[in-house]
């Protein structure tokens, strides 16, 4: 009983933004780990088109399982979780903070989907800027394939040079080879993509929740459905920029691309992919991403709402009312 009261006291003493950071971080870690195998295959589809796309989803699963074992499906997931925990924590917390700041700063602002779109967009951009190097490392680790075929090996650097020994090794080698700018290679398409994606994700989720009858507001199954649809719609509209980002991130691992012909900017990369590999390559891995996004976004929004209840986070209406009183 005493321990329960002590725990309750600790939770109640936490600042609101701290509770939102914790809720967001836990949400990100759970959601990302749940779909890590599909994320690995999606990255390989995006960046190793000839080797993996031709054998399809089932063939890719068999290949990874045969050559790398069970843990092969989680290659790069350590970096992914290390990135997603602070990313999700910042994303959800920043969304709530931006939303409150807009309401307090512009009292006449309509409480509606446009507010969620703006707050979600800026929150996504903020989170990306702070955590992008970890996303770069995650992609490079996931790109590595043990036992690549000879045909593919001609297009990549030797295995002994390719395989990073871990997150720290990947960070240090990337910094030595390309400097600070190398750690942010591909950040432009990430920013272009995250602003509409993050905004649309919150927009669709909150808009659909508004149409849920009051007696079903706490129904977890409905939250899962709303989150799934929000993720699917947002991802479909911004997916080509995700492909561009991945290819820019792993470009330096390929010796087949000469320095003078390397893809540079976001739009140049996008048009070059469409011209040389076909516009369908801009949607490569999208079907797998649908399988990933449905549980990931659904789990994310649902866990976040549950964590807020567990951490005794006041409702938005209560928080906004308190903010309004303090600013008078």
* Average pLDDT by stretches of 10, the chain with 328 residues: 69 89 94 84 70 73 82 78 89 93 83 87 93 83 60 44 72 86 84 85 86 81 85 83 77 54 69 84 78 82 90 73 56
247 with 265: CB under 8 angstroms?
A: no
Q: Where are the domains of the chain?
A: 14-144+160-313
**Angstrom distance (rounded) from CA 222 to CA 216:** 8
Kindly give, in sequence order, each residue whose CB lies less than 8 Å from that of residue 6, ignoring residues fewer than 6 positions away.
none
Number of H helices, E strands in the chain: 15, 0
User: Is the pTM for the entire model greater than 0.85?
Assistant: no
| Centroid of chain to Cα 78 | 14
Given this model, what pLDDT does residue 260 score? 47
* Residue 307 near residue 47, CB atoms below 8 Å: no
The DSSP-derived string for 235-247 is: HHHHHHHHHHHHH
- Please tell me the predicted confidence (pLDDT) of residue 151: 42
Q: Judging by beta carbons within 10 Å of its beta carbon (0-12, 13-18, 19+), is residue 54 exposed, middle or buried? A: exposed
Please give the Cα distance from 121 to 111 (Å, whole number).
16
Which pLDDT score, from 0 to 100, does residue 248 have?
76
- The b-or-e profile of 83-109 (16+ CB within 10 A means b, else e) is bbbbbbbbbbbbbbbbbbeebeeeeee
Indicate the fold that domain 14-144+160-313 takes in CATH: Mitochondrial carrier fold (1.50.40)
């Amino acid at each position: 009983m005493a321990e329960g009261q002590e725990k309750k006291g600790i939770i109640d003493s936490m600042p609101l933004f701290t509770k939102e950071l914790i809720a967001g971080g836990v949400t990100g870690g759970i959601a990302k780990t749940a779909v890590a195998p599909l994320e690995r295959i999606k990255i390989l589809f995006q960046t190793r088109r000839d080797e993996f796309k031709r054998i399809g989803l089932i063939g890719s699963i068999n290949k990874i399982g045969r050559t790398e074992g069970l843990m092969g499906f989680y290659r790069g997931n350590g970096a992914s979780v290390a990135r997603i925990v602070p990313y999700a924590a910042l994303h959800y917390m920043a969304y709530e903070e931006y939303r409150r700041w807009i309401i307090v700063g512009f009292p006449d602002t309509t409480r509606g989907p446009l507010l969620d779109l703006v707050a979600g967009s800026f929150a996504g951009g903020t989170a990306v800027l702070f955590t992008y190097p970890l996303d770069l490392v995650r992609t490079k680790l996931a790109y590595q394939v043990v036992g690549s075929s000879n045909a593919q090996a001609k297009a990549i650097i030797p295995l002994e040079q390719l395989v990073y020994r871990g997150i720290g090794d990947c960070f240090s080698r990337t910094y030595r080879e390309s400097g600070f700018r190398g750690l942010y290679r591909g950040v432009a398409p990430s920013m272009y993509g995250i602003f509409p994606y993050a905004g649309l994700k919150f927009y669709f989720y909150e808009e659909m929740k508004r149409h849920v009858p009051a007696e079903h507001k706490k129904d977890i199954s409905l939250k899962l459905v709303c989150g799934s649809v929000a993720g699917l719609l947002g991802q479909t509209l911004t997916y080509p920029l995700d492909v561009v980002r991945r290819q820019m991130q792993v470009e330096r691992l390929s010796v087949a691309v000469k320095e003078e012909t390397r893809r540079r900017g976001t739009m140049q990369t996008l048009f070059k992919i469409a011209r040389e590999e076909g516009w369908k390559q801009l949607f490569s891995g999208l079907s797998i991403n649908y399988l990933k996004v449905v549980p990931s976004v659904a789990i994310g929004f649902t866990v976040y709402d549950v964590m807020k209840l567990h951490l005794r986070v006041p409702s938005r209406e209560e928080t906004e009312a308190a903010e309004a009183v303090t600013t008078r």
